[in-house]
A and B are shown apart, each in its own frame.
Chain A
């Protein structure tokens, strides 16, 4: 199991001063998948990504990226990963040509044709300065630089946060196309789930510095049901593993539950819920956590 994980963390924690930015984070992100890292602002997404690419070091716990330590094995690991930091920083005074030159100088596995082809398709003149480009164009340039490294594992921190809806769609579309060909593992973060739901097949939900929900999106959705029925005291429901959220009126109860198999109960109207509702329900109940199987904690290897 662990040998196939692109990112594996064990009780990972990072503290800045007295505040924990990330705490007790144990998770695995599988190879060859596109994983969404979702959570409200300040949940620890950036910290987790920075730990993974070696920009910062853990206070507690450990992590392996492509089976290696980001800090100790930086020399061999860095060429294998691509990273687009938040706000896609670029040397503003450099022309695109010069940015490509930097990439070529700093990366042994650099494939300039990848970047040139992408920038050409976007209609970006290589003589233009990075600082003169729009936010969407800058994000595309940053992505092109990261892809030209030919990474096995691409990590993106809020890549579409500063983009308008059209640029968001274009960016995610081109990202998907690029990674689909080479089966690049992708981990991208956003505080807005709807941005990522279409493009991702795996989810990590972070909230208040902790992992709340991990797993295949299909499995997560399949495991949750919305129950509507006559008012009752929940707690004695068969095959309900946990009640994530409940609300009651005088006559009716509405429960969002994690089911342990198929639910048959004449009293309840059972319906499926979409991922966004599930995520919002978990965020509303910070103490509820769920690691959808298979997870490193529950599956014997």
Chain B
């Protein structure tokens, strides 16, 4: 049974391996280069506070970030991968339903329960292994960036910790559910990918920031603001009034203040009751948010899986 299941997803496994190698070929050289630049430029020392932090340090760190800005645009596309893992490994089972070969398999000497157990173990196991490889790769590659910018922001949060596994489980269950219901590979894989991205994007855009009420800080220009803003997920930052209502750019509201040395500008802004506001999710909430999002996607995955198994046992024959 294991041999059969493996043989049925051989092509998919090769495809997946090829895809991961491709991503590694892209990220490993970049990661090595970035790691050496990080320690070489002194940015690492600045971040870990082993160097005397001074005016030079923020410049050094900013230079480092600018150097690797160009790597940014490819990352969001990698969000396809956890979904793809699920789709690819679940597709052979749907193919078996579409082609009717389940009637061949189910009438060999293996019970349907055993068939399903082994099949699901291999499908979910393969997906999780692929997700593990991607997560390790992304986490290793981003080490210097994580140290500077943290990992709360979208497109970073989604690749680290434990959420990638939940995404893969969810995508797998989605294909299985749609596939067992429709018995069509194209419909189930296409539909699952669409639904997967619709949900991922909605949660990232509208839902995740409300898992816990964000921290809101208002401070006077020139006084020290929040210390850990760099590594948080900033939802809002800029000028505001004393109650935290955001204001347009100081250039528009108090143009007269905007000349002269920094301290004079800050003094002038204070005189005009202009404050700074930051609304953010601090880096310390990383694991809490990971836990919440994992629970959501894994919960959906389990619900869909149970529905699929029920449907398979009672409605297909």
Contact = CB atoms under 8 A, between A and B. Distances in A.
A188 B45 CA distance: 80
Interface-centre pick from A55, A90, A94 (highest chain B CB count, 10 A)? A55
Contact of B317 (A55, A105, A149): A55
Given A74-B112, A89-B100, A91-B101, A53 B107 contact: yes
A57 B317 contact: yes
A86 B317 CA distance: 12
B67 interface: no
Nearest to A99: B104
A105 B111 contact: no
A98 B101 contact: no
A55 B103 contact: yes
A106 B1 CA distance: 6
A83 B105 CA distance: 10
A108 B106 contact: no
Interface string B82-119: 00000000000000000111011111111110000000
A109 B100 contact: no
Contacts of A50: 317
B8 interface: yes
B101 A89 contact: yes
B99 A89 contact: yes
B77 interface: no
B285 interface: no
Given A85-B100, A101-B3, A75 B111 contact: yes
B208 interface: no
B8 to A, nearest CB: 7
B106 A55 contact: yes
A126 to B, nearest CB: 15
Contacts of B3: 101-102, 105
A201 interface: no
A261 to B, nearest CB: 44
A87 interface: yes
Given A55-B106, A101-B3, A149-B108, A87 B100 contact: yes
Nearest to B8: A91
Nearest to A56: B317
Interface residues of B, number: 21
B5 to A, nearest CB: 10
B103 A89 contact: yes
Contacts, number: 68
Chain A residues touching B, range: 20 to 34
A106 B317 contact: no
B195 interface: no
A94 B8 CA distance: 9
Nearest to B11: A93
B104 A90 contact: yes
A53 B317 CA distance: 10
Interface-centre pick from B8, B103, B104 (highest chain A CB count, 10 A)? B104
Given A78-B108, A149-B108, A94 B7 contact: yes
Interface of A: 50, 53-57, 74-75, 78-79, 81-83, 85-87, 89-94, 98, 101-103, 105-109, 142, 145, 149
Given A98-B7, A102-B7, 13 more contacts: A55-B317, A57-B314, A57-B317, A74-B112, A78-B109, A78-B110, A78-B111, A90-B101, A91-B104, A102-B4, A102-B108, A106-B108, A108-B109
9 closest Cβ pairs, A-B complex: A56-B317, A106-B108, A85-B103, A83-B107, A55-B317, A79-B109, A89-B100, A107-B109, A89-B101
24 contacts: A55-B107, A56-B317, A74-B112, A78-B107, A78-B109, A78-B111, A81-B107, A82-B107, A83-B103, A83-B107, A85-B107, A89-B99, A89-B100, A89-B103, A101-B3, A102-B3, A102-B4, A106-B1, A106-B105, A106-B108, A106-B110, A108-B109, A145-B104, A149-B109
